[in-house]
């Protein structure tokens, strides 16, 4: 039976992809009910700045001035579509620790976010500080959320955040207190393996591998479920957790399976993968992850990525666990047609 419950099926739109001919209108909009605009940066005094003012405000995009204008146009055209501006990001978080530690700069940041949201017709803010990694930063992160919520009242605005699955971050944050301020938490349930690990592995597996923990290489233990469980065990409500799905692959040259050494590792957008890789991918039912072995002379080796089948498993998991839904990094990394991951998530959440 189709589900009547309302789930989030969200995507991130990275503005720099407009230079690859991927404006907001190219996303799977019929299957999306929330867009996160990535990214806006912050200055050391707490004020905001554009990542790329030309792309954000001046370049012609979907018949509007800049990507911000294009996102606002989509919102006007599609009743019910929610849009949030994401502040920070992986390469734009260096200023957060000092800003969050200073009440004056926190206030400047919060006021700047409110002004930006109102000016560009957003529904709210996604705090993407990657990542608080000390007890002091965890306390300041919570103070920053408090200041944001003060100027973005829940009756009018949405407040979200993005956090990893790892204990290195979550152990420093009172997520139960954060839940009182947040509408949703985007759990970045990917990048479990990559060039920073010693062995190849599935980079976004839903479940941990079977067997005793001490029998599994530490680099292969992480999973979406472990991240969800860490939040739930700390009192964060399931209904506010939005589970992340990567719309990109990670390859490990020289490896042919999980747990093997490799010579190099790269990242590939899902829409850059050969379609026969997607259609021929081997799905491991134990961990709900897919992979392809590209063993040609210049091959990528072991390649880990999601396919519609694994995304449907993640959607089924989200429904069963009572989660808030799914989000995808990125919406423009997807493809049209039956191989679409965003569409698989939408249909899976609705149990179609």
| Average of per-residue pLDDT across 54-76 | 98
Closest CA to 257 of 193, 196, 211: 193
How much of the chain exceeds pLDDT 90, in percent? 94
Supply the mean pLDDT for the chain: 96
Two tokens, residue 202: 């599935």
Long-range contacts from 55-64, C-beta under 8 angstroms, 24+ separation = 55/15, 55/16, 55/18, 55/19, 56/15, 59/18, 61/18, 61/23, 61/24, 62/23, 62/24, 62/25
Q: What distance in Å separates the CA atoms of residue 204 and residue 175, rounded to the nearest whole number?
A: 22
| CATH for 8-246+307-349, options being 2.40.50.100, 1.10.3720.10, 3.20.20.80, 3.40.50.1100 | 3.20.20.80
Q: What is the pLDDT of residue 170?
A: 98
Quote the pTM value. Answer: 0.97
pLDDT at residue 246 is higher than 80: yes
Q: What is the pLDDT of residue 3?
A: 63
Q: How confident is the model at residue 245 (pLDDT cuts 50, 70, 90)?
A: very high
Q: What distance in Å separates the CA atoms of residue 243 and residue 274, rounded to the nearest whole number?
A: 26
Q: What is the pLDDT of residue 1?
A: 53
Express each pLDDT in 300-339 by its tens digit. 999 999 999 999 999 999 999 999 999 999 999 999 999 9
pLDDT at residue 106 is higher than 90: yes
pLDDT at residue 4 is higher than 80: no
Whether omega before 330 lies within 30 degrees of 0, making that bond cis, reads yes
Q: Mean pLDDT check: name the lowest of 1-15, 226-240, 325-339.
A: 1-15
pLDDT at residue 215 is higher than 90: no
How much of the chain exceeds pLDDT 70, in percent? 99
Residue 37 and residue 13 in contact, taking contact as beta carbons nearer than 8 Å: yes
Express each pLDDT in 154-190 by its tens digit. 999 999 999 999 999 999 999 999 999 999 999 999 9
Q: What distance in Å separates the CA atoms of residue 225 and residue 233, rounded to the nearest whole number?
A: 12
| Average of per-residue pLDDT across 330-352 | 97
Domain boundaries defined on the chain: 8-246+307-349
How would you classify the pairing of strands 60-61 and 64-65?
A: antiparallel
Q: What distance in Å separates the CA atoms of residue 135 and residue 259, rounded to the nearest whole number?
A: 33
pLDDT at residue 83 is higher than 80: yes
Q: Mean pLDDT check: name the lowest of 114-123, 294-303, 337-346.
A: 294-303
């Amino acid at each position: 039976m189709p589900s009547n419950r309302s789930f989030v099926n969200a995507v991130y739109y990275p503005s720099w992809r407009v230079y690859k001919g991927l404006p907001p209108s190219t996303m799977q909009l019929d299957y999306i009910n929330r867009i996160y605009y990535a990214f806006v940066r912050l200055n050391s005094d707490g004020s905001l700045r554009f990542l790329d003012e030309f792309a954000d405000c001046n370049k012609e995009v979907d018949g509007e001035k800049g990507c911000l204008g294009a996102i606002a146009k989509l919102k006007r055209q599609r009743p019910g579509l929610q849009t949030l501006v994401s502040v920070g990001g992986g390469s734009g978080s260096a200023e957060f620790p000092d800003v969050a530690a200073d009440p004056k700069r926190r206030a400047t940041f919060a006021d700047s976010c409110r002004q930006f949201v109102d000016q560009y017709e957003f529904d709210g803010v996604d705090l993407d500080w990657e990542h608080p990694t000390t007890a002091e930063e965890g306390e300041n992160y919570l103070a920053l959320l408090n200041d944001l919520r003060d100027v973005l009242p829940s009756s009018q605005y949405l407040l979200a955040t993005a956090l990893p699955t790892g204990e290195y971050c979550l152990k420093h944050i009172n997520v139960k207190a954060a839940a009182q301020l947040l509408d949703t938490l985007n759990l970045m349930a990917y990048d479990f393996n990559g060039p920073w690990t010693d062995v190849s592995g599935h980079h976004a597996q839903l479940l941990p591998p079977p067997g005793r923990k001490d029998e599994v290489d530490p680099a292969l233990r992480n999973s979406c479920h472990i991240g969800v469980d860490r939040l739930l065990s700390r009192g964060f409500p399931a209904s506010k957790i939005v589970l992340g799905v990567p719309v990109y692959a990670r390859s490990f040259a020289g490896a042919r399976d999980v747990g093997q050494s490799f010579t190099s590792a790269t990242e590939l957008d899902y829409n850059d993968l050969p379609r026969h890789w997607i259609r021929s991918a081997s799905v491991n039912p134990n961990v709900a992850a897919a992979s392809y072995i590209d063993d040609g002379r210049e091959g990528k080796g072991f390649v880990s990525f999601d396919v519609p089948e694994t995304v449907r498993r993640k959607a089924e998991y989200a429904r069963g666990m009572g989660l808030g839904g799914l989000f995808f990094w990125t919406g423009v990394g997807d493809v049209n047609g039956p191989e679409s991951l965003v569409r698989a998530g939408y249909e899976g959440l609705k149990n179609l």
